[in-house]
Chain A
Amino acid sequence: MRNFLIWLIVAAGLIALPHTLSFSLQEILVFLVINVLLVVSYRLLTLTGEWSLGHVVIMGVGAYTSALMTKRLGVYVPVSMIMGALMAGFVAFLLSFPLFRMKGFYFLIGSFASAEIIRLLWKRFREPFGGPKGLKRIDSLADINIGPIQVDFFEPVAYYYFALIVVAVCLWILWRIEKSLVGLTFHAVHWQDKLAQASGVDLRRYRTLAFVLASSFAGLSGALLAHYIGTINPNSFDVELMVFVLTWAIVGGTATFYGPILGCVVLTLLNEVVLREMGFQQMRPLIYGAIMIGSILFLPDGLESLVKRAMAAWKRRSTPAAEPGKESA
């Protein structure tokens, strides 16, 4: 009952939020919602222990697929998004064959290389990918005009609500998976693959499953992005965005479900609101890099560890001296 109330308040807050913001902040809010899905899907990938550098290009596969489906085949937008997600998952499935012959560092490099190949294909083939200039005038969701209800999805607020619902459903699915026996098996594969395999777990199958699932959700986030900004090109999914995703995940922490969300929200606030307002436009990547290094050095378990500690302190309020100063070295 208490949980239900908390969720009700959160939902009310998220519904009210855009109305308190300026137009440009509303736009950033849409990106933020999309990025939350991106980074949470990235965490699913890291659950089995592999860190990929190809995740944003896989996101791009979803974006290109969904955009082309609407432009060339006239597929209705939400349906094209699902096709984008499926295509991203399918590409990940194909990539899993070479990639899962590698582990750790080699997997990292291999994922980066295969992602660059996909980006090169987008650049090289004007037909159908539009070459370096990419795709333009991608349809948004069709307007809704039913009597008194009129929704124009070019409005950030309208698209925000649409994205919010999609992302909320996705987060719920990802949460259910993680808390299920499937999620337990993912963790088992990560922490001690030998023992998992001795217990009958097909490692390859579960690594592939996590990779394909994570990629599908990344593809969906790409499709959400494409139909919002209306134009995508190979550089929309370049290394810079990948570094952002890594930074969100590392700064937030990947041990908990909410860690990467925390990292994404806090750093987006910092990036878009504080730094932009202060006129640090040019130096933002530099500052981002500094934050990533600083957090690895001084907060290796991420922002989530602060939340954990705060909750622990909350539980034993009787001894208030325990909260401050316990910096992990």
Chain B
Amino acid sequence: MSAPLLQVRNLTKRFGGLTAVDGLSFDVRKGTIHGLIGPNGAGKTTTFNMISGFYKPTEGDIVLREESISGLMMHEVAHRGVVRTFQHSTLFAEMTVLENVVVGTHMEFPPSIWNALTGQDAHDRRGAEAKAHEALEFFGLLAFQHSLAGDLPHGHQRALGMAVALACRPDIMLLDEPFTGMNPEETSRMMELMNKLRSSGLTLLLVEHDMHAIMGLCDNITCMSFGKFLAEGGPQEIRNHPDVIEAYLGGARHVA
């Protein structure tokens, strides 16, 4: 097998006395869908926040193609091909759907004041909009391109968040609970799209509660609990892993 695209090494994050992520390690291989699961509060979002550069790790390292990216700012991480979505629909609610995705093309079409004044940016603008159209088309949102993002129904907002990320042309996309707020029909359509993205060579790291989706999509799954690594393996192994079952049952008892 090829070298992993992304390596998480002994990653740790402390908030004051609370250790949200505790010595977590796992590898993500290129062209796979990798699941990150665990009960609520296990530290999945915190892990995403560290990989994407939103938080600085307290300890540990994140290595992308042999280069350490831990401690970089979020936009620097994005420029290296790691782009994330947010757990709660985080969009430019006051902008149109198209404008949202055009912001996603920022790295491919860097804005320039000089070009804006001389009118030379018309070419870039057309290019950016064409790329945005592609991403919207892929997620079935083209019909809504002129609506305000904030007016979209929840499921479409999740899809728009992914369209923005896709427009960034990432090598690896971090998706935080992308299926939340989608009905079963939307979920299965989205799963199809993710399979398509994988076949196109994109790598996905996926946090999700919907076990049906996780088991149906992932090549590899890392399970964590209370910030710690618990188990790793294919869907079959994870489904039958005694520690995983224990963690979820324990978690469920707390939730109930």
Chain A interface residues toward B at CB < 8 A: 173, 176-177, 179-185, 187-188, 191-192, 194-203, 209, 213
Most buried by B among A179, A195, A201: A195
Query: Could you write out 14 A-B pairs with CB less than 8 Å apart?
Result: A176-B116, A181-B125, A181-B128, A182-B112, A184-B102, A191-B94, A192-B92, A196-B103, A197-B73, A197-B74, A198-B54, A199-B107, A200-B83, A200-B107
Interface size band for B: 35 or more
Whole-angstrom distance between the Cβ of B83 and the nearest chain A Cβ: 6
Known: A192-B91, A200-B78. A177 touches B103 (CB 8 A): no
Known: A177-B116, A180-B121, A184-B102. A200 touches B111 (CB 8 A): no
Whole-angstrom distance between the Cβ of A276 and the nearest chain B Cβ: 39
B117 touches A188 (CB 8 A): no
Choose among B54, B79, B109 the residue that contacts A181 (Cβ–Cβ < 8 A).
Answer: B109
B68 on the interface (CB 8 Å rule)? no
Which A residues touch B106, using CB under 8 A? 181, 185, 196, 199-201
Whole-angstrom distance between the Cβ of A297 and the nearest chain B Cβ: 23
Known: A194-B54, A195-B164, A200-B107. A180 touches B75 (CB 8 A): no
A198 touches B83 (CB 8 A): yes
Whole-angstrom distance between the Cβ of B99 and the nearest chain A Cβ: 6
A177 touches B107 (CB 8 A): no
B199 on the interface (CB 8 Å rule)? no
Known: A181-B128, A182-B112. A200 touches B90 (CB 8 A): no
Choose among B83, B86, B103, B111 the residue that contacts A194 (Cβ–Cβ < 8 A).
Answer: B86
B75 touches A177 (CB 8 A): no
User: In the complex, A183 Cα to B113 Cα: how many Å?
Assistant: 9
B103 touches A184 (CB 8 A): yes
User: In the complex, A191 Cα to B85 Cα: how many Å?
Assistant: 16
Q: Which 8 A-B pairs have the closest CB atoms?
A: A180-B116, A181-B111, A200-B107, A200-B78, A182-B111, A197-B74, A188-B103, A191-B92
User: In the complex, A196 Cα to B99 Cα: how many Å?
Assistant: 12
Whole-angstrom distance between the Cβ of A126 and the nearest chain B Cβ: 39
User: In the complex, A223 Cα to B114 Cα: how many Å?
Assistant: 24
B74 touches A198 (CB 8 A): yes
User: In the complex, A325 Cα to B115 Cα: how many Å?
Assistant: 45
Kindly report which residue of chain A lies nearest to residue B119, judged by CB atoms: A176
A200 touches B95 (CB 8 A): no
B52 on the interface (CB 8 Å rule)? yes
B8 on the interface (CB 8 Å rule)? no
Whole-angstrom distance between the Cβ of A256 and the nearest chain B Cβ: 13
Given A198-B84, A200-B78, 6 other A-B contacts at CB below 8 A?
A: A182-B113, A187-B92, A188-B103, A197-B78, A198-B52, A199-B168
Most buried by A among B54, B103, B115: B103
Kindly report which residue of chain A lies nearest to residue B54, judged by CB atoms: A194
B57 on the interface (CB 8 Å rule)? no
Most buried by B among A177, A199, A201, A209: A199
B92 touches A188 (CB 8 A): yes
A199 touches B99 (CB 8 A): no
Which A residues touch B54, using CB under 8 A? 194, 198
User: In the complex, A179 Cα to B94 Cα: how many Å?
Assistant: 15
A202 touches B75 (CB 8 A): yes
Which A residues touch B121, using CB under 8 A? 180-181
Whole-angstrom distance between the Cβ of B165 and the nearest chain A Cβ: 8
Whole-angstrom distance between the Cβ of A243 and the nearest chain B Cβ: 28
Which A residues touch B90, using CB under 8 A? 192, 194-195
User: In the complex, A194 Cα to B78 Cα: how many Å?
Assistant: 12
Which A residues touch B104, using CB under 8 A? 199
Known: A180-B116, A181-B124. A199 touches B83 (CB 8 A): yes
Which B residues touch A187, using CB under 8 A? 92, 94-95
B93 on the interface (CB 8 Å rule)? yes
Whole-angstrom distance between the Cβ of B122 and the nearest chain A Cβ: 10
Kindly report which residue of chain B lies nearest to residue A181, judged by CB atoms: B111
Which B residues touch A177, using CB under 8 A? 113, 116-117
User: In the complex, A242 Cα to B218 Cα: how many Å?
Assistant: 58
User: In the complex, A203 Cα to B113 Cα: how many Å?
Assistant: 16
Which A residues touch B109, using CB under 8 A? 181
B95 touches A188 (CB 8 A): yes
Which A residues touch B86, using CB under 8 A? 194-195, 198
Known: A181-B124, A181-B125, A192-B92. A199 touches B78 (CB 8 A): yes
User: In the complex, A176 Cα to B111 Cα: how many Å?
Assistant: 12
A200 touches B75 (CB 8 A): yes
Which B residues touch A188, using CB under 8 A? 92, 95, 103
User: In the complex, A184 Cα to B92 Cα: how many Å?
Assistant: 11
Kindly report which residue of chain B lies nearest to residue A178, judged by CB atoms: B116
Kindly report which residue of chain B lies nearest to residue A188, judged by CB atoms: B103
Which B residues touch A194, using CB under 8 A? 54, 74, 86, 90
